[in-house]
Chains A and B, each alone.
Chain A
Amino acid sequence: MPEREPVVGIDLGTTNSVVATVRDGQAMVIANRTGQNLTPSIVAVAKSGKRLVGQIAKRQAVTNPEDTVYASKRLIGRKYSTERVQQYLKTLSYRVVPGDHDDLRIVLAGREVTVPEISAAVLRELKLDAEAYFGRPLTKAVITVPAYFNDGQRQATKDAGKIAGLDVLRIINEPTAAALAYGFGKNVSGKIAVFDLGGGTFDISVLEISKGVFDVAATGGDTLLGGEDFDNRVIEALVFGFAKDHGIDLRKDRMALQRLKDAAEKAKIELSSTKEVQINLPFICTPPGGGSALHLQRAFTREKLEELTEDLCEKTITIADQVLGEAKVRPDQLREVILVGGMTRMPRVVEKVKKYFRREPCKGVHPEEVVALGAAVQAHALTHEESQVLLLDVTPQSLGMAIAGGYARRLIPKNTTVPTSTTELFTTSKDCQTTVKIMVLQGESEIARENELLGEFMLNGLREASRGEVEIEVTFEINSEGIVSASACDKETGQQQSITVTATGGLTPDELGKILESQSDYLMEDRQLEELNSRKEQLEATIREVQDLLPKVKQITGGSEFGVDALKSGEESLHGGIEALKGRSLAAIVHSTDQLTRTLNAFRGVIQRVGSQDP
C-alpha cells in the first residue's frame, strides 16, 4: 500500500508560526531546520540582498528596519484606504503603498510585494522544514486564522498558501484549532473559552461545542496587545537603568536596541520558570567621545517584571470580561478555559485568568503549539476517512445591506453556521421611487459606511407609488463554499436581480497567476542552489578522501610507471576539484566529482592490490 501523502496544520501567527502533523495518531510539532518549534513570521532582505525568513530575519529587524517585514498578518486582506489600516501604517518601520485596487503593497528592498507574498514566504519556509522532516514533497495543509478574519482576509491567506505551493484544504479558526488539540470535539460539550495572548495580539473567544460541532459564539480582543509590549517594558527598565548609570540612551543605537530586544524577550521567557535572571550585554555601547565600550549587567526579577506589566495583564482580563459580557456568557458557565500563546506561560497571567474564570485553565499542551497541533488534527481528519472530528464553518462576520439614512441592516449575524439563507421584506423609502440599490455589507457596525462593501446591484422598473407601498423581498444566502449571493425581488411584478460575491483577498486572478509564475522561477532557483550545495558537499568529501590516500599511494607507487601517470593525473584532478569548489558552476563541480571518483577508485585499487601482495 503506498504511503499516504503527508499533510500538515499551520498556525500562521502574527509574531511566530508553527507547523505540525499527526504521526502514529499523535499530533506533533515539526521543528524548523535550526531545531526550534517556533519560526518568527518575519521576512527581510539584508543589505547584501539576501532574502531572510524566520529567526535570522528577526535578528536583524532592528538594525535593518526598512527592509524587515513583521506582523504582516495585521495587513493581510485589508484595504489600504480604511482608517484602521491608515492608523496602523503609522506604526510600521517598513513602507506600504496602495495597490491598483486599494490593496496594500509592501516596499521591500525597492520592490513592491503583496501581503500574501510575504505570508507565502513564511509558509514556504515552514513547508521546507516539513519537507525536510518528511523527506518528501508536501502540498497539503490546513491553515489557521483569527476567528474575526473576514472573507477577504481568509481568501488572502488561501492565496498565500497557493503562492507557497500549498493546497489549502481548509482555513480554520485559531480558537477552534486550540480546542481540537485538546480533543474537545470528542469528549467535551458546552461552552469553552480560548484565551490567546500571543506575541503581538490578544484574542479571547467563546466556543460552543455540541456533538463535535464547534461554533464561535463570541470573539474579540486587541490586535495591538501582546508579548512585544511586555518586552518593551523590560527594555524601558534596562534603558532607564543604563541612562541613570552612564547618561547614555541606548535606544538611539540600533545595534544596542537589537541586543536589548533579544535580551528582554529572553529574560521574560526565563522569568516564567525562574524567579531571577542575569542580563549580560557586554560591549553594548561605546561612549560618545570614545573610550572603552560599556557593559550592561543587571539582575532582573519576576517580581519586577510583574510590577512593570501589571496593567497589561489587567487589560487582558478587562477585554475578556467585555467579550463575555457581549456574548452574555458568565465565567462560571464555561466548561474549560484554554490558554494559547507564549505569553500565557507567564505566572501572573495564569493567576489572573484563574481568578477571573474561577477555574484552573487547561495546560496539557504547550500554549505556543496548541493551535498548530489542532490544525494538524483537522488536516488529518480531512484526509483520513476514519477520523471523526466534524468542523462546521461559520460566518466570521455579519452580512447585511445598506438602508435609508446610511444605516446597515443585518441579515445574517456573525457565527451563523453555513450554509445558511435568510429573507426579509423591505419597502421603498421615497415617493415615486422606481429604482432600488442593494449594497451588500460585511461587518458589525450599524453605520453602513463603517462596514465592508462586498458588492452592489440595482433593481429597476419599480411601480411609481408613495414611499412604503412597493415591497421588495431581499434574500441573502451563503453556500457551503462560503460564496455569498444576494437577490432582490419586486413582489408585485416578480422582477428579480441578484449578485454573487466571491471573497477576494486583494489579488485579482491575473495578479495571482503572475505571482505564481515568478514564484516558480524563484523556487527553481532555490532548488538549483540546494543541488549546488549538495554537489559541493559531495565534491568536498571526495577531495578529502583523495587527499588522505595520496601520500600512501605516492609511497606505494614511488618510481613505478603507474606512479608517474596516475599520480600526475590524480593531482591534476585534485587541483581541478579544489578550483571547482571555489566557483558556482554545477557542471564543473559534477565534472570534478566524476574525475576524482575515478581517481579515488584507482587509488583504492592500487592500495588493495599492493596490500594483498604484502606478506
Chain B
Amino acid sequence: MSVERAKKLVEAGVWLRMSGDQEGARRLFEHALKLDPTNERAKQLLESPSSPHGQSMPAIAAPSDADAAPAAQNPFLPAQTPSRSIGLEVDWGLAAILPESQAVLRAPIDPAEPPPPPAPPSLGSAWDAGVQEQTVLVPETTQLDVEAAGPMDLLSADAVPAPPTAAPSPAAAASQEARVQTMVQGAIDLMGLDDHSGAMDLILKAQKIAPDHPDVRQLRERSERTLLKMFESKLGPLDAVPHVLLKQDEVIWLNLDHRAGFVLAQIDGTISFEDLFAVSGMSRLDTARILAQLKEQGVISVS
C-alpha cells in the first residue's frame, strides 16, 4: 500500500517540478522515500535535481539571460530572496522573481522569432499563460515506461500528442482518472506538509485534466480557503489602511506585472485592505496574494 502511495507521490512530485515548484517536489520525494525507502526513482529525483539549476534535465532548454536573470535589483530595496510564483486560476499579479531552478523550465523568448505553438491543454495551465514552454515532461501514468527510462528520456519537445478531440476510450478515461487521483493525493500530502501553494499547483494541473472532478473541485476550494486565510493573516487587520513606502521613481525598479501594478496604484493611503479587495476587480485570493507579497517585500506597510 505504502509502496503504491510512494509511487504516486513521486509522480505528483514530477508534476510539481514541471510547474517550477522544486521545493514542493522535493518534499513529495522525501515523503515517498519515508513510505517506501526502496523507491529508486524518488532517490534519483531527489539526488539529481536537488541542485536548483536542474542539470538533471539537460534537455530542457536553458533560459535566455533576460528570462533567467531576476529582474533588475531595486537599489532602494533590501536584497530580495527569490520567491516562488504560485499558479492559480489566473496568473498571479506579482511576477515572481524566479530562482534559476524555476527559470530553466521556461523557454527562451526571442522577440524576433514567432512564438512557439501553445502547449497542449492537457499539460499546460493558465499559470503558464504568456510563457510558452518549449519542452514538457510526460509523467509516469502515460503510456511510456518511465520506470525503465531515466528522467532524461522523459523529455520531448514534439512527442506530446495533440489533445484528443473525440470522447476518451474507457482505458484512456481510467488512465486520466488515475492521473487525477495521483495529483489529488499529492496535493493532499502537500497540504499535510503545509505547502499549500504547491498543493494548489497540483490541483490546478488536475483541474486542467478534469475540470468537473468533484474531488479536485472540493480540494481546490479547501486549498483556496487556506491560502486566503494565510495571505490575509500576513496583511493583519483588513480594515487597516496601507501606504506605499517607495517613491514613484523607486517603484519602477520593482518586478511587478500589470495586475500588481494596478493594485499598487490603488494604494494611496485612503483605502483599506478590505476596500482594495472590492476595487481590484480580481478575486479576493489573487488580491490578497499580491498585497501579501507587496507587504512582504517592504513595498507597502500599514501605519
Q: Which residues of A contact B (CB under 8 A)?
A: 34-35, 46-48, 50, 52, 55-56, 59-60, 63-64, 253-256, 258-259, 262, 280-286, 288-293, 295, 533
Contact B258 A254 (CB under 8 A): no
Q: Kindly name the residue among B258, B259, B271, B277 whose own CB sees the greatest number of chain A CB atoms within 10 A.
A: B258
Give me the 6 closest cross-chain CB pairs, A-B, nearest first. A283-B261, A63-B281, A290-B130, A46-B278, A60-B279, A255-B262
Specify which chain A residues have a CB less than 8 angstroms from the CB of B266 in the assembled complex: 59
- Give CA–CA (A447, B261) in the complex, Å: 55
With A50-B278, A60-B279, A289-B130: A281-B265 Cβ-Cβ less than 8 Å: yes
Q: B257's contact among A60, A64, A286, A295, by CB below 8 Å, is which?
A: A286
Report which of B131, B239, B260, B277 forms a contact with A283, defined as CB distance below 8 A: B260
Q: Determine the distance from Cα of A293 to Cα of B279 in the docked complex, in whole angstroms.
A: 21
On whether A255 and B115 interact (CB within 8 A), knowing A289-B130, A290-B131, the answer reads no
Neighbouring A residues of B274 by C-beta, 8 Å? 50
Verify B115–A282 contact, CB threshold 8 A. Answer: no
Beta-carbon contacts under 8 Å, B100-140 to A: 109, 115, 130-132
Could you tell me the distance between the alpha carbons of A86 and B274 in the complex, rounded to whole angstroms? 37
Q: Can you list 25 residue pairs at the A/B interface with Cβ under 8 Å?
A: A47-B278, A48-B277, A48-B278, A50-B278, A52-B279, A55-B270, A56-B275, A59-B271, A60-B279, A253-B258, A254-B281, A255-B259, A256-B262, A258-B281, A281-B261, A282-B248, A282-B252, A283-B262, A283-B264, A285-B258, A288-B130, A289-B132, A291-B109, A292-B71, A293-B261
Q: How far is the CA of A60 from the CA of B254 in the complex (A)?
A: 24
Chain A residue with Cβ nearest B270: A34
* Closest chain B CB from A61 CB (angstroms): 9
CA distance A64 to B283 in the complex (A): 12
Assess whether B130 is in contact with A293, with CB atoms less than 8 Å apart. no
Within B250-303, which residues are at the interface with A (CB < 8 Å)? 251-252, 254-262, 264-266, 270-271, 274-275, 277-281, 283-284
A292→B254 CA distance, assembly (Å):
10
- Beyond A259-B262, A289-B115, 11 additional pairs, beta carbon < 8 A: A34-B270, A46-B277, A48-B278, A55-B270, A254-B281, A262-B265, A280-B248, A282-B252, A283-B254, A284-B258, A286-B257
Q: Verify A255–B281 contact, CB threshold 8 A.
A: yes
CB contact under 8 A between A283 and B258, given known A52-B278, A289-B130: yes
Q: Which residue of B lies closest to A63 (CB)?
A: B281
| Residues of A with C-beta under 8 A to B283 | 47
Find out whether the CB atom of A59 lies under 8 angstroms from the CB atom of B258: no
> What range describes how many residues of B lie at the interface?
20 to 34
- Structural contact, A46 and B279, CB atoms closer than 8 A: yes
Q: Is B95 an interface residue (CB 8 A)?
A: yes
Determine the chain B residues whose CB is within 8 A of the CB of A283 once the complex forms. Answer: 254, 256-258, 260-262, 264
A64–B279 CA distance with the chains assembled, in angstroms: 8
Residues of A close to B109: CB separation below 8 A: 289-291
Given contacts A60-B278, A290-B109, contact A282 B251 (CB under 8 A): yes
Please indicate the chain A residues that have their CB under 8 angstroms from the CB of B258 in the complex: 253, 255-256, 283-286, 293
Q: Are B281 and A47 in contact (CB under 8 A)?
A: yes
Kindly list chain A residues whose C-beta atoms are within 8 Å of the C-beta of B270. Answer: 34-35, 55
Closest to B271 in A: A56
With the chains together, A52 CA to B274 CA distance in Å?
12
Q: Could you tell me which B residues sit within 8 Å of A by CB distance?
A: 71, 95, 109, 115, 130-132, 239, 248, 251-252, 254-262, 264-266, 270-271, 274-275, 277-281, 283-284
Complex alpha-carbon distance, A518 and B254, angstroms:
48
B272 → chain A closest CB, angstroms: 10
Complex Cα–Cα for A253 and B274 (A): 24
Do A282 and B271 have beta carbons less than 8 Å apart?
no
Which residues from B are CB-within-8-Å of A286? 130, 257-258
Give Cα distance in the complex from A255 to B248, angstroms. Answer: 19
Residue of B nearest to A287 (CB): B130
Docked pose: A64 CA to B282 CA in angstroms: 10
Residues of A contacting B257 in the complex (Cβ-Cβ under 8 angstroms) = 283, 286, 293
Contacts of B256 in A (CB 8 A): 282-283, 293
By a CB distance below 8 angstroms, the chain A residues around B277 are 46, 48
Contact A48 B131 (CB under 8 A): no
State the CA gap A416–B259 with chains docked (Å).
Answer: 57
**Chain B hits for A52, CB < 8 A:** 278-279
Best-surrounded residue of A52, A254, A256, A292 (most CB of chain B within 10 A) = A292
Contact A259 B265 (CB under 8 A): yes
Closest CB in chain A relative to B61 CB, distance in Å: 15
Shortest C-beta distance, A267 to chain B (Å), equals: 14
Q: How far is the CB of B195 from chain A (nearest CB, A)?
A: 25
Whole-angstrom distance from the CB of B95 to the nearest CB of chain A? Answer: 7
Cα distance, A36 to B115, chains bound together (Å): 49
Closest B residue to A289 by beta carbon equals: B115
Measured between beta carbons, the chain B residues less than 8 angstroms from A64 are: 281
Provide the residues of chain A in CB contact with B280, threshold 8 Å. Answer: 60, 63
Contact of B261 among A34, A56, A282 (CB under 8 A): A282
Give the docked Cα–Cα distance between A158 and B270 (Å): 32
Check A60/B281 contact, CB under 8 A, given A283-B257, A283-B260, A290-B130: yes
Nearest A residue (CB) for B130:
A290
In chain B, what residue has the closest Cβ to A51?
B278
- Name the B residues within 8 Å of A47 (CB-CB): 278, 281, 283
- Min CB distance, B263 to chain A, in Å? 9
Q: Which of B252, B264, B279 is A59 in contact with, Cβ under 8 Å?
A: B279
Among the listed A56, A253, A254, A293, which residue makes an inter-chain contact with B278, where contact means beta carbons less than 8 Å apart? A56
